Amino acid sequence: MNKVCLGIDLGGTFIKFALLDETLRMVGETASVPTPANQGAGAVIAAMVAGGKALLARHSDVKCLGVGIGSPGPLDLANGVVIGMPNIPGFENVPLRDRVGAGLGLPATLENDANAAALGEYIAGSGAGSKLLVMLTLGTGLGSGIIIDGKVLHGAHGIGAEVGHLIVEPDGEPCGCGQRGCLERYSSATYLARRAQSLVESGRASSLAAVLKTTGQITSLDVLRARNAGDALAAEVWDRAIHLLAIGCVSLCRVLDPDLIVIGGGMAKAGDDLMVPLRQYVQQEHWKLSKLAARLELAKLGNDAGVIGAAGQAWAVFH
Amino acid sequence: MNKVCLGIDLGGTFIKFALLDETLRMVGETASVPTPANQGAGAVIAAMVAGGKALLARHSDVKCLGVGIGSPGPLDLANGVVIGMPNIPGFENVPLRDRVGAGLGLPATLENDANAAALGEYIAGSGAGSKLLVMLTLGTGLGSGIIIDGKVLHGAHGIGAEVGHLIVEPDGEPCGCGQRGCLERYSSATYLARRAQSLVESGRASSLAAVLKTTGQITSLDVLRARNAGDALAAEVWDRAIHLLAIGCVSLCRVLDPDLIVIGGGMAKAGDDLMVPLRQYVQQEHWKLSKLAARLELAKLGNDAGVIGAAGQAWAVFH
């Protein structure tokens, strides 16, 4: 009988499910159900359990050893508890690991969604064979995961791999976390767009002024489009975000010496418009004592990275 | 027969030797000989071999499984080669690991001296029981080592744990490594003293002007003494170095989540004059999402950390 582990990736919009066999290959297809985000934690957990059972029922020829759950946080990993969840109300101090595990009758493990995505890229995406992989997810915030020799770096208290809160500018812009000058405040999609909007609102000339007037807000995609159409303000904002992201990548090279930095999240859809200047800035900013040893690549798995990594983490814990 | 591994720590002034048993406890005392630094690599290697043999000869009741060598760099760890050595001329592309190993008739492993010191503090110093330890050595430069679950973090190409080259200020002061704004340029003993000297030379009023006139240069100890005697310029320079060191420590907490940051090197002799403001700045600069989880402590082993760590690395490789 084929042994598998089940992965469940809890997102604000969808819950995803996948099975990985012992060789970490997917068994069948991923499955997905809408997240009943407005119905409270009980409904969300019920949907996770029902979806997991439904996927396992379609594979009666497998024996499931355990379930790995990827979840937004902050989390208390040691106890499997969700401390809070900005996008899904009602998730305060919920023992998600044990409730989903009990519902499925399986041993369960909880993992941070960004760590799970990094592990997913390591298992089945850009990261195959990497010795030390850092994944940066550029979206609303700047999420990250670090995989060393195939294992998630958790740190001493389960709060490591928060590269979005690497300080890139002393006494820099205040961050929601309470620090100043965090990388996330310069290089995430949200803050890049917010910076463009605030410059336009302060009266700087830009084609983005018309966008703001029409739609009421500027997105990172608007900034990219305007930059590619020759708008100087948009180019300046895009360029600064990528320059500071490159400085963050160089600092990661010095501290961790990765062979691969994977860039994912919504902003990664910019493709070469992101990666070409990013690679140039990293080459420019990094030291001259040795050649740049880290590759910078786009993520390959898109939204599937988290669920594959969640199942992979179950294998790491329950094999 | 008691099994041991031999550690050899190659420094610019002394070569140190120690034996560790299987429980990583020292057997007997450390030994030390002057480094024949001006006589070329051959003489240095001969002194390492002779010193190792002499120590082993004093312990005829042990069986030595291997030798761990701690060395300044840059190093090619995979091949056991010293690429160059600023303080010991004649060490270009020397296969130190294999030559010392052959001389002693023992399997040998080569480790970066800063990594060895961090492992030494983990084994026998401030770091006992730590899950994730970062050691920062504040001296001529800013050396560092990272120990995760008792193992040295090497990164994917053996060039990780260079925290001195974490970028703390974008477009900051140029560093000898070719980057700008490296932590080392703000917080090492050398650069702190150099900054004080350059401010005095530029005409800023300070009691350090008299020191400069008398001795021809200002040291970090001069800066500390002047600061403690109420000199405003010295206080400003000392404070800035520690503030930026604290920002580096906060970034390390976000990326790695250590439970312990150990501060060693010559500047650590400042004791509370360093640690009290450092802890205050780290508290002030770190995020509000969780309590500060890392302790900041002075190193305990002084110059013995490297040789203990070198022997410990031999145990990690040859047990």
Report DSSP letters for A216-235, one per residue.
SS--HHHHHHHHHTT-HHHH
Report which residue type is found at B33. V
- Judged by a CB distance cut-off of 8 A, whether residue B203 touches chain A is no
Structure tokens that stand for A253 in this block? 């090279």
Q: Look at residue A87 and tell me whether its pLDDT is greater than 90.
A: no
Contact residues, chain B, for A180 at CB < 8 Å? 285
Average pLDDT over every residue of B267-288: 97
What would you report as the CA-atom Rg of chain A, rounded to the nearest whole angstrom?
Answer: 20
What is residue B157's predicted lDDT score, i.e. its pLDDT? 94
What's the whole-model pTM score? 0.95
Measured in whole angstroms, the distance separating CA B201 from the mean position of its chain's CA atoms is 30
CB atoms within 10 A of CB A282: 23
Q: With CB atoms and an 8 Å threshold, state whether B169 touches A167.
A: no
Q: Is the pLDDT of residue B43 over 90?
A: yes
Q: What's the pLDDT at A289?
A: 87
A 69-98 residues inside an 8 A Cβ radius of B: 74
Task: Look at A290 and B162 and tell me if their CB atoms are within 8 Å.
Answer: no
Q: Which residues of A touch B131 (CB under 8 A)?
A: 155-156
Q: Work out the number of other CB atoms within 10 angstroms of the CB of residue B132.
A: 24
Give chain A positions within 8 Å (CB) of B257: 154-162
In this predicted structure, which of A101-105, B48-52, B75-79, B225-229 has the lowest mean pLDDT? Answer: B75-79
| pLDDT beyond 90 at A124 | yes
Tokens representing residue B108 in the block = 């040998």
Q: Cβ distance A108 to A80 under 8 Å?
A: yes
CA atoms within 13 A on the CB side of A187: 31
pLDDT (0 to 100) of residue A144: 97
Asked if pLDDT for residue A244 goes beyond 90, the answer is yes
Answer yes or no: do B168 and A170 touch at CB < 8 A: yes
Higher local confidence (pLDDT), B319 or B317: B317
The pLDDT, as a whole number, for residue B212 is: 97
Summary mean pLDDT of chain A: 96
Q: Do B148 and A153 touch (CB under 8 A)?
A: yes
Compute the mean pLDDT over every residue in chain B, rounded to the nearest whole number. 96
pLDDT at A86 over 90: no
Name chain A contacts of B254, Cβ cutoff 8 Å: 160, 162-163, 165-167
Question: What are the structure tokens assigned to A238, written together?
Answer: 């895009």
A288 near B CB under 8 A: yes
Least confident piece of the model among A2-6, A45-49, A251-255, B173-177: B173-177
The predicted pLDDT at position B29 comes to: 94
Residue B232: pLDDT above 90?
Answer: yes
pLDDT at residue B89, as a whole number: 85
Render pLDDT for B57-79 as a digit per residue (tens, 0 to 9): 999 899 999 999 999 988 999 99
Asked whether residue B217 carries a pLDDT value surpassing 90, the answer given is yes
- pLDDT surpassing 90 at residue A319: no
The answer to whether residue B120 scores a pLDDT higher than 90 is yes
pLDDT value at residue B87: 78
Share of chain B above pLDDT 90, in %: 93
Nearest chain A CA: its distance from B174 CA (Å): 11
Residue B140 has what pLDDT? 87
The mean pLDDT value for B193-207 works out to: 97
Is the pLDDT at B319 greater than 90? The verdict is no
Give the pLDDT confidence of A188-217 residue by residue, as tens digits. 999 999 999 999 999 999 999 999 999 999
- B42 at A interface, C-beta within 8 A: no
- Our separate counts of H helices and E strands in chain B read 10, 12
pLDDT bucket at A294, cuts 50 / 70 / 90: very high
Q: What is the pLDDT of residue A88?
A: 85
CA distance A166 to A248: 7
Whether residues B257 and A167 touch (CB distance < 8 A) is answered with no
Which pLDDT score, from 0 to 100, does residue A137 have?
A: 95
B245: pLDDT strictly greater than 90? yes
pLDDT value at B219 more than 90: yes
Whether pLDDT at A74 is above 90: no
Q: Which of A144, A119, A78, A254 is nearest to B153 (CA)?
A: A254
Q: Which residue of B has its CA nearest to A161?
A: B255
Instruction: Check CB contact under 8 Å for A153 and B158.
Output: no
Tally of residues, chain B: 319
Q: Looking at this predicted complex, what is its ipTM?
A: 0.95
By Cβ distance, the residue of B153, B289, B293 closest to A178 is B289
Mean local confidence (pLDDT), B175-198 = 95
Using DSSP, state whether A15 is helix, strand or coil: strand
Tally helices (H) and strands (E) across chain A.
10, 12
- The helix-helix angle for A113-124 and A305-318 (nearest 10°) equals 90
Of B167, B250, B293, the CB nearest to A159: B293
**Which of the four pLDDT bands, split at 50, 70 and 90, describes residue A115?**
very high
**Residue B17 confidence class, pLDDT cut points 50, 70, 90:** very high
**B184: closest CA of chain A, how far (Å):** 12
Q: What are φ and ψ of residue A267, in 5° steps? A: -70, -20
Please answer yes or no on whether A285 and B167 come within 8 Å at the CB atom.
Answer: yes
